[in-house]
Structure 1
Amino acid sequence: MTISDLVYYIRSRPVNGFVCCTRGFSIAMLYPTKETYTVEDQYKVLCVMIFRGYNANQRDIQQEHYVFTLSSQQKEWRKIEITQDITYITVHEGICMDGAIYYGDGRSGIDIFDVRSEKLELIQIPEGSDIAHFSALINYNGKLGGVEYDCLILWILEDAKKHKWSEMACPLAFEWSDLLGDRVTSNGEIHTGELMVVNPGLRSSKPFSVCYYDFNRERIRIRKVEVEGIADDEFRRFHGIGKRTREMLCFPGYVENIKFL
């Protein structure tokens, strides 16, 4: 799939096939399918604008929230007022679950944006954890999970109103760098519940690999998959990959519609 001749950065994981991309101050919503389907669901895009002062400290940081409704006849952004005292350092990660968007604020909280009511709530993260800044947010058996994949600790949100979390430690006998190199990232889980971990750097001398970590088994299970051709110069040139960057943006959970002919 070719997005366009312009370079767009994929900002979010696919939601029912929709992919949100950005380029500078422009935002594009893609629905990469050859078929057209009539749906009754209402889709919205949340945009958080962060403004920093010259000193770049917390007192100088302000933010504004805008919502765009895809099915609306009015093709314009609506500014929504947030009554809670919420201050971001950055907007990290993001996952849509049961009509709500969860994302980290780069400080000490996970923000929840209710798509229907357009209300925003803040959940305090466990003391000592870093899931609001450096983690992967996943859907763990219907609950929000935050994975610190440098030490592989899974935090599970048990009660949002009480800010109650449970912890699952998943020790490894090795570092992720032993499997993937010196830099690893994760953008969540696949349909089997496994966490996807990758090294986004493209190197022509090495195959592009993906590791999957299984949380749901009694015994720790990790599998490594090598994707043939992606690190090949001819493949990248033919598909327009790596024109301006040598990094792969990997997003799990996208499944194309399969119909019997």
Structure 2
Amino acid sequence: SFLEKYLRQGNEAEEKGDVVRALFNYLNGYHKTTGLPSLRSSLRVITHETQSEQPWGVQDISKSTFLGKINGITQNLRLNVISGDNQVVKTYKGISKPLVAEVYLDKSGRKIPLSNIPVLFRFEKGEGQLESERVSDTNGRVQSTIHKIDNFDRKHHVIAAKLNYEIFASNFEPSSKNLLSALNHVKVVFNHTIDTPKWASNKSQAWKSGITDLVNQVTQNIPPGGSHLVGVTGFRDLRHDKTAKFNEIL
């Protein structure tokens, strides 16, 4: 029957790690079982057949059968950290190792890697520039790189890797979204510690602000007329260990 076909194709796709195709079949089966029990009951009344007789061959495949298969995926899809957690950040350039996670389906302790799963990386604490929208490879691996740290005020940064639910759910009809809502909470986090020299900390911002205020005071008190020159030569920028123009510091 068509229901058996949906169930079989869903199982095959699930074993191959193609959860989009598996869910497509299970959701089709789920929606198309609506009304079948009442139709079968009416048919038995008309034909005088007993419940033990199965003229359509689908009596054992109910709506709950497909719902169980759907929940088996949505409640057992996992994200797990592989590497890149607990790194120490010492420069503005970010971190040296990429953030690597794996996406898999947990079937009674057996891991099935899932490919082509959209994952979103973003800062939950702290600020920085990273590769945000990524997709898992054939081994279920997905990774992102932090290119720059923008905020050193926090000593503890947290980056979340979360299943991109909106993109994933767009593969299915809107009427199915309520059945997939558990996937909206699938995520893992990477924790990083900020450990920088004093000139690369939040004190640097206060120092920069103080210098700016000083320059503003000097320029505002220069009497009008005449030719005046204010500047600093040979300024050593300790943050980058080089000589820089004063206007570049500000």
* TM-score tier (shorter): under 0.3
**Structure possessing the higher radius of gyration over alpha carbons:** 2
TM-score (norm 1): 0.22
TM-score (norm 2): 0.22
Q: Which has the higher helix share?
A: 2
Q: Which has the higher strand share?
A: 1
